[in-house]
Structure 1
Amino acid sequence: MKRFILFLSLSWGVLLSFGQGNSSMFPMEKLGTTIYSGVFTGNGLLGTMSYMKSNNTLRIDVGRTDVYDHRENPESALFDKARLPIGHFVLRLQDTVLRTNGLIDYGGGEAIATVVTAREHYSVRTLTFANRDVIYVEIDTKLGANTVPLLEWIPEVPRSPRMNFGHAKKPDNYPENPIGEHVKRNNYSVYKQPLLAGGGYATVWQSYVKENKTVYLISIGYDSGNRDYVAQAIDNIEALKEMALDKEILEHKAIWKSYYSRSNLTLPDTRLQQFYNMQLYKLASATGQDKPAMDLQGPWTSNTPWPAYWHNLNIELAYSPVFASNHLEIAESLIKMINRNVDNLIQNSPKPYRHNSAAIGRSSAPDMISPVWVERGRDGTAWEDGQKELGNLTWMLHSYYQYYRFSMNEKAYEPLFALLKRSVNYYLHLLDQDADGRYHIVEKTYSPEYSGGYAYDTNYDLSILRWGLKTLIAMDDERNLKDPLYTRWKTVLTHLRAYPTNKDGFMIAKDVPYAESHRHYSHLMMVYPFYDINWDQPENHDLIKRSISHWQSKPAALQGYSFSGSASMYAMMGEGDKALVALETLLRKYVKPNTLYAETGPVIETPLAAMSSIQELVLQHWNGVTRVFPAVPTVWADVTFRDMLTDGAFLISAERKSGKTREVRVMSQHTGTIRLKSGIVNPRITLSGHSAIRDQHDDYVELYLPKGEQAVLHLR
């Protein structure tokens, strides 16, 4: 442990934690030559990344998350409808760089890159306004720089980045988008990039000198139709210029301060504390309530074979930490994308099932068009693996369900129920009973990431289907809807075949053992995130332990999210020390210096999934019970959190000192009952208003709390 902390201190510099002292700074001792060692900003739509292009050039990437090509080819999301890179500015230096460093002020939403040569000292401050689609770049020259610094614009080629990768299967015909052009409009510098399919995007900027500092205001316009995307970007800057700029910057900082005040987690582990706070920064930089949903990159583009949305793990993991952190506004970007594309989700299912089904394949553009072809009587051997992934939509709706349950937002209920019913209906079309009366899936489906995963009754599908059936039944019971399919759901759930297992634990599928290294935990999802097989079931303890051990015993193909996944499974088991080791391995081996992550290209989900794993050390909800400090590592004597969110829209705050839980506070935002394991045996309980204790024994209590009321559990 001590060697690990020393190593990380050297690689990340002196680390200070938000909420401890007055600092919210993430320092970087050196800027590298990739986005993984740069300093970044974002507002959920636009963003910047500052790093070194060479030993005498600073590079500032700019990005806009909704800039996708939109050619009419629904079968080519990765090429004809791919995310497009925009371009970058460069600051060319007179001499070779002697030293660099960076600083991300995550509590204030800005970043600073410092570059020093023998004759120059540049401090380049960037922020992307939280409430305006404008990027602010301020260049401060010190130590005798002789000229006003100029940024030079370098556009990216407007093609799918997947074209740059030799292993990727490419379309036979891929006409290039038109060449962009530099123009001037109304004293603005403009790089205008039209698209072959219509519309286009434009980077617009203007500079001025203020108190010996050079300031650039930058915006990016985009439209897929006939609107003037250049005028859009100019209007963004003009609207900002009409305001007092210093006042706007103060308001920007106040928005970030308010964002961080929604909840707080204070850890004794400085490294994980800083990492956790940076993931909060990354979430709000990458998306927001009225912003596009997170794809794999956020605003920070780089050469990548993944220029799209991925639905068989990535988007689900990316959104996983927003619920407990009390930032449901972040989740709304995903919810809105799903609601907007219901018709396309229906069309993704095979034609015979579209009257009552919906689905999504592996990857798509923001329109979520990604067909699944699994159909009775059709041999899918020649199909691409992603077209055989039956369960992706139902898994994605697990995030939608968490949004509903953690908010108790009545408006979310009906669209969620209707779409979840459709996604489960797709399964029902493919079920038959065997000689023992057990339901099984009659066609092969694909278990993500496993080379032999095209098989019957994959554990990926069985676990997802069980969760979908249980959730539909629970939602129907909640409203007493008496849906016509209710009896069928209960019958199928009761008689669904058991998960395939062998001596090593859970298999990939019927007749397919886990026999080769596998980064995805698609065969273990009944353990996590669905908790269908869980630690409240003593009869399953050995099965869970064998399964995780066997998965981790083949390390060759494991990647970062293999360790966030195992950490969450250990946390469910109450094994905080094992979870901490898994998280330390993830951070040491896979997380980049600025907390980004890459597998060939940038993929945003894994550090965010690790944020969820950290949350699950201190707060979990499964099997109908909220658990406080369920898996705190033994080296963490003191841990506190405030206003974290759990199922039922209850806010939880708790304090642990010297290895003992001292106090747990529960605040209701929606009238209801919470079943709680507080970690305090026979606590003294203080109730407000008309709150009531329904049941209590050991460290378990069931509380009824009207909206706005609270209960406080004290150590006696």
Structure 2
Amino acid sequence: MRNLYIFFISILCVICRAQGQDKPIFHIPQLGKSIYEGVFTGNGLLGTMTYLKSSQAVRIDIGRTDIYDHREKNREKLFNKARLSLGHFSINLDVNIDSIGGDIFIQQAYSQTNIKTSDGMLHIKTTTLSDDNIILIEVIKKDYHGNYSFDWCPDSAISPRMKFDYIQKPTYYTRNPEGKSGTSKGFSFYNQELLAGGGYATVYKKMLAMDNDVYVVSVGYNQVNKSYLKETIDYVDHFDSKDIIIALEKHQNWWRNYYSASSLSLPDKIYQRFYDMQLYKLASATRTNKPAIDLQGPWTSVTPWPAYWMNLNMQLTYSPVFTSNHLDIANSLIQMIDQNVSNLRENVPVAYRYNSIAIGRSSASDLWSPVLLEKGVSISDASDGEKELGNLLWLLHSYYSYYRYGMKEEVYDRLFPLLKEAVNYYLHLLEKNESGKYHIAVKTYSPEYKYGYAYDTNYDLAILRWGLRSLIELDHEKNRKDPLYDRWLDVLENLIDFPQGINGYLIAKDVPYGESHRHYSHLMMIYPFYEINWDQKENRVLIERSIKYWQSKNQFLQGYSFTGAASMYAMMGRGDDALASLDNLLKSYIKKNTLYAESGPVIETPLAAMTSIQELCLQYWNGKLRIFPAVPTAWKDISFKRFLTDGAFLVSAKRKNGITQTVEIESQHTGTIRVESGISTPMIVIKGKGKYEIDLDGIIVFTLNKGSRAVVYEKK
């Protein structure tokens, strides 16, 4: 017992030494009874969410991001291949809870819940270790004189969609067997076997210190055999005192290194806290070698969306990682795509599988989700999600950014064939109309719009134009002269124009924007692709009219409707309008702990808002880097360090009293970049090998060798 006591004193010293340096960054005065009102942790695989359960109980949800059912492939994939929730620990008190608040210590990556009762204060700390599949739960009771119990409450291993009455259920759905509780080697466990093979287990053990109870928790998972239970028990059993102390040190070092990649300093405390929380959330939800982020991350709740969603959600979720210099986070998405190319090919009709890939609306991590569009074939019984043509090509926009922001040859070599095959599916479906223009000769579905099944949707035309331009650009970059190059050029030059009407862009040919529409699928030529942009003065009235009319029908607008609008306003240089849109989002849609919900947790919208905030400070489009292009009037002092941009350039800049003071650009890959610095009379110093020139528009054109740095400041 003495050794055990010394062991936990050592652990607590490590925790206190690391955590004592930090004040609570995100404080929730009163925790509620949902995951949207709790405090959370995560390591990209495991996660915790702590919140109020009842008047005498607190719950700590445990999640593991890769636990999906994995039954046969069929059209009921949201049931047969659904994300499964694990359950929660219930901390039950003998007395009523008078008040309960929570803190997330973002820098040190742990949460603390503070419970006030008539028997004193009870504190609960959770730490999800960065480099190990271990959760530490500390019940700190030195100021608490009552009793408590610590119980595991498992969730049923069924698709969460079974719990929604309005959702049509499969005719046949066999439930997984009931899980079983047990003990082994002094550990408690809950073992859940799956019909499709394998299963998962939650393993935990209580260890005592004088004023603290510490619980060590892990979750094992295997889709093939039942070895996961023994392996998880052995894993935790061999995780001795020395390992935990080392793991806590590594945990702090990992997060310290993560935050050092980039930073943003804002004068608005609300937006600063919000931005920092999203940065914390990203690394809690995934890592370079962890599963990609689905709609929930590690924090599960009853949801009709137990999967990955490909017609906006995935794209928005990963949108802020590039500018924030976190290609490590993006890699979780990239590796998921790379590992499932065979399913992406199986997703297209048989006739096109020899050279095409696609994905429908939703899938498990295997990316199996068919698209049924085929020339001359009736698909009257297909779901809307099986008619969405452009999802994969839009998803590859993230892959393209992953390449362009890192400029790695091996990424190029993987990206190019994927992009080519995604465009090939489009090419199979094109025909020339009576005017000799290419158009999409089958009806496709424009996401989220009731009447969106139509010819020539702007959703698909915008995505196709981006795909063609990107292939042509990538071909030029390596002087490939691909056999399909002339075909891409021909289609791009002769593709029909984006359908538009008196109120701006339509949903599709002959389909006006007639009712409220939360998705900006019909405006993607404006954002995120900038095919139609503010540099094109002839298009400014059309851009303004389209955005205004979209936002004027506000009945069904949701959170990401306002992030999309904010990004469009930022492209126009209208920082105040962008901020007003984000204000609406934060006040009306974002939850206490910055999560977001639409009938269940959907993680993408707050992360898309993080992107919009970045775009107030830095934008790259139309071949030009723009420094502080849309700073709101109220934000006088603002700076960022080591933001990443196209061409693998790191950018830092500082603005004081509304005037840009300095801009620094560091090249991680030899190349050229055009910069609109916002400095009226620039002085330029290049450190290392490089050169610059200033064109007639005042744009500074830098050519920098790898490792060189350029500094721009105001001439005094």
TM-score normalised according to structure 1 size: 0.96
Task: Tell me, in whole angstroms, the C-alpha distance in 1 between the residues paired with 2:704 and 2:24.
Answer: 35
1:87-107: CA deviations, max 9, x gaps? 100010111111110000011
Residue aligning to 1:369: 368
Contact 1:74 1:369 in 2 (8 A): no
Residue aligning to 1:96: 96
Report SS of the residue matched to 1:136.
strand
Residue aligning to 1:26: 26
Superposition pairs for residues 178-257 of structure 1, below 5 Å? 178-257=177-256
Report SS of the residue matched to 1:98.
strand
Superposition pairs for residues 138-217 of structure 1, below 5 Å? 138-147=138-147, 149-217=148-216
Report SS of the residue matched to 1:62.
strand
Report SS of the residue matched to 2:514.
coil
1:318-350: CA deviations, max 9, x gaps? 000000000100000000000000010001011
Unpaired segments ≥5 residues, structure 2: 1-20
Q: 1:239–1:565: structure 2 CA closer, same or farther, 3 Å change rule?
A: farther
Residue aligning to 1:531: 530
Q: Does residue 592 of structure 2 align to residue 593 of structure 1? A: yes
Task: Tell me, in whole angstroms, the C-alpha distance in 1 between the residues paired with 2:498 and 2:121.
Answer: 63
Residue aligning to 2:397: 398
Task: Tell me, in whole angstroms, the C-alpha distance in 2 between the residues paired with 1:715 and 1:496.
Answer: 45
Contact 2:518 2:561 in 1 (8 A): yes
Report SS of the residue matched to 1:467.
helix
1:222-256: CA deviations, max 9, x gaps? 00001511123223323432525344323312211
Report SS of the residue matched to 1:133.
coil
Tell me by how many angstroms 1:674 deviates.
0.8
Task: Tell me, in whole angstroms, the C-alpha distance in 2 between the residues paired with 1:27 and 1:143.
Answer: 21
Amino acid at match of 1:145: H
Q: 1:362–1:663: structure 2 CA closer, same or farther, 3 Å change rule?
A: same
Tell me by how many angstroms 1:509 deviates.
0.1
Q: 1:579–1:118: structure 2 CA closer, same or farther, 3 Å change rule?
A: same
Task: Tell me, in whole angstroms, the C-alpha distance in 2 between the residues paired with 1:353 and 1:256.
Answer: 45
Residue aligning to 1:491: 490
Task: Tell me, in whole angstroms, the C-alpha distance in 2 between the residues paired with 1:380 and 1:314.
Answer: 25
1:490-527: CA deviations, max 9, x gaps? 01000000000001000000000000000000000000
Residue aligning to 1:8: none
Q: Does residue 682 of structure 2 align to residue 649 of structure 1? A: no
Tell me by how many angstroms 1:698 deviates.
5.0
Higher mean alpha-carbon deviation, 299-308 vs 686-695, is at: 686-695
Contact 1:134 1:236 in 2 (8 A): no
Residue aligning to 1:515: 514
Task: Tell me, in whole angstroms, the C-alpha distance in 2 between the residues paired with 1:423 and 1:698.
Answer: 37
Tell me by how many angstroms 1:435 deviates.
1.9
Tell me by how many angstroms 1:146 deviates.
4.1
Amino acid at match of 1:41: T
Report SS of the residue matched to 2:80.
coil
Tell me by how many angstroms 1:690 deviates.
1.7
Report SS of the residue matched to 1:601.
coil
Tell me by how many angstroms 1:291 deviates.
0.2
Q: 1:190–1:713: structure 2 CA closer, same or farther, 3 Å change rule?
A: same
Tell me by how many angstroms 1:414 deviates.
1.5
Task: Tell me, in whole angstroms, the C-alpha distance in 2 between the residues paired with 1:120 and 1:157.
Answer: 35
Task: Tell me, in whole angstroms, the C-alpha distance in 1 between the residues paired with 2:654 and 2:209.
Answer: 48
Amino acid at match of 2:673: I
Structure 1 segments (4+ residues) deviating >4 Å: 21-24
1:397-420: CA deviations, max 9, x gaps? 000000000011111112111011
1:52-84: CA deviations, max 9, x gaps? 111111000000000000111332220001000
Amino acid at match of 2:518: R
Residue aligning to 2:714: 715
Residue aligning to 1:313: 312
Residue aligning to 1:17: none
Amino acid at match of 2:93: L
Residue aligning to 1:66: 66
Task: Tell me, in whole angstroms, the C-alpha distance in 2 between the residues paired with 1:347 and 1:479.
Answer: 30
Contact 1:44 1:287 in 2 (8 A): yes
Residue aligning to 1:625: 624
Tell me by how many angstroms 1:136 deviates.
0.3
Contact 1:682 1:698 in 2 (8 A): no
Task: Tell me, in whole angstroms, the C-alpha distance in 1 between the residues paired with 2:698 and 2:136.
Answer: 52
Amino acid at match of 1:108: Q
Q: Does residue 84 of structure 2 align to residue 79 of structure 1? A: no
1:333-373: CA deviations, max 9, x gaps? 00000000001000101111111100000000111000000
Report SS of the residue matched to 1:322.
coil
Q: Does residue 276 of structure 2 align to residue 277 of structure 1? A: yes
Tell me by how many angstroms 1:275 deviates.
0.2
Task: Tell me, in whole angstroms, the C-alpha distance in 2 between the residues paired with 1:110 and 1:213.
Answer: 16
Tell me by how many angstroms 1:120 deviates.
3.6
Superposition pairs for residues 100-115 of structure 1, below 5 Å? 100-115=100-115
Tell me by how many angstroms 1:696 deviates.
3.7
Contact 1:596 1:604 in 2 (8 A): yes
Residue aligning to 2:680: 681
Report SS of the residue matched to 1:79.
helix
Residue aligning to 1:464: 463
Tell me by how many angstroms 1:379 deviates.
2.5
Report SS of the residue matched to 2:47.
strand
Report SS of the residue matched to 1:528.
coil
Amino acid at match of 2:494: H
Report SS of the residue matched to 1:321.
coil
1:664-687: CA deviations, max 9, x gaps? 000000111111111112310001
Superposition pairs for residues 125-144 of structure 1, below 5 Å? 125-144=125-144
Amino acid at match of 2:262: S
Task: Tell me, in whole angstroms, the C-alpha distance in 1 between the residues paired with 2:384 and 2:243.
Answer: 54
Contact 2:649 2:668 in 1 (8 A): yes
Report SS of the residue matched to 1:451.
coil
Task: Tell me, in whole angstroms, the C-alpha distance in 1 between the residues paired with 2:384 and 2:146.
Answer: 59
Residue aligning to 2:44: 44
Task: Tell me, in whole angstroms, the C-alpha distance in 2 between the residues paired with 1:24 and 1:462.
Answer: 47
Report SS of the residue matched to 2:306.
coil
Task: Tell me, in whole angstroms, the C-alpha distance in 2 between the residues paired with 1:30 and 1:504.
Answer: 46
Percent identity, please.
55
The RMSD of aligned alpha carbons is 1.2
1:408-459: CA deviations, max 9, x gaps? 1111112111011001000101111112111001100000000000000000
Residue aligning to 2:6: none
Superposition pairs for residues 300-699 of structure 1, below 5 Å? 300-697=299-696, 699=698
Residue aligning to 2:10: none
Contact 2:22 2:108 in 1 (8 A): no
Residue aligning to 1:3: none
Amino acid at match of 1:522: S
Residue aligning to 1:289: 288
Amino acid at match of 1:35: I
Task: Tell me, in whole angstroms, the C-alpha distance in 1 between the residues paired with 2:235 and 2:603.
Answer: 28
Tell me by how many angstroms 1:122 deviates.
0.9
Task: Tell me, in whole angstroms, the C-alpha distance in 1 between the residues paired with 2:534 and 2:234.
Answer: 56
Unpaired segments ≥5 residues, structure 1: 1-20
Task: Tell me, in whole angstroms, the C-alpha distance in 1 between the residues paired with 2:455 and 2:87.
Answer: 46
Amino acid at match of 1:413: Y
Contact 2:176 2:195 in 1 (8 A): yes
Task: Tell me, in whole angstroms, the C-alpha distance in 2 between the residues paired with 1:61 and 1:82.
Answer: 18
Tell me by how many angstroms 1:579 deviates.
0.2
Contact 1:516 1:554 in 2 (8 A): yes
Tell me by how many angstroms 1:141 deviates.
1.0
Amino acid at match of 2:25: M
Report SS of the residue matched to 1:602.
coil
Q: 1:680–1:70: structure 2 CA closer, same or farther, 3 Å change rule?
A: same
Contact 1:456 1:509 in 2 (8 A): yes
Task: Tell me, in whole angstroms, the C-alpha distance in 1 between the residues paired with 2:589 and 2:526.
Answer: 24
Contact 2:93 2:146 in 1 (8 A): no
Report SS of the residue matched to 1:369.
coil
